[in-house]
Amino acid sequence: MIITIKVASGRDQGVLLTQISNYIKHAPLRRLKRSGSLGLSNNSIRNLKRFYDLIQEFESDFGQSIMLNTIDHMLVNAFKEWLLTEKE
């Protein structure tokens, strides 16, 4: 699985996929609160990459990029319904 990470402009910072990419990119530098160790586990990174892919597919079916300020209860329910019907 390959995720292309690009430097985001100011406008791109509000895009959900940009934020997920940034989180994955900085995963090796994250300090875990519970143990104090540095870096997310391989499992966590794999799950984040899978989430990225799912959001990318959902956006493609949805027809537009998801902006952070547009995420609401209805969008979350639409995503859950999409997961249950399209990805079963």
Sorted by where each begins, the domain ranges of the chain are 12-86
Instruction: Quick: pLDDT tens for 19-66.
Output: 999 999 988 877 777 777 788 888 989 999 999 999 999 999 999 999
Q: pTM here?
A: 0.77
The answer on pLDDT for 76 being more than 80 is: yes
Q: Which residues contact 81 (CB under 8 A, 6 or more apart)?
A: none
What pLDDT, on the 0 to 100 scale, is given for residue 39?
A: 81
Distance between CA 75 and CA 79 in Å, rounded?
6
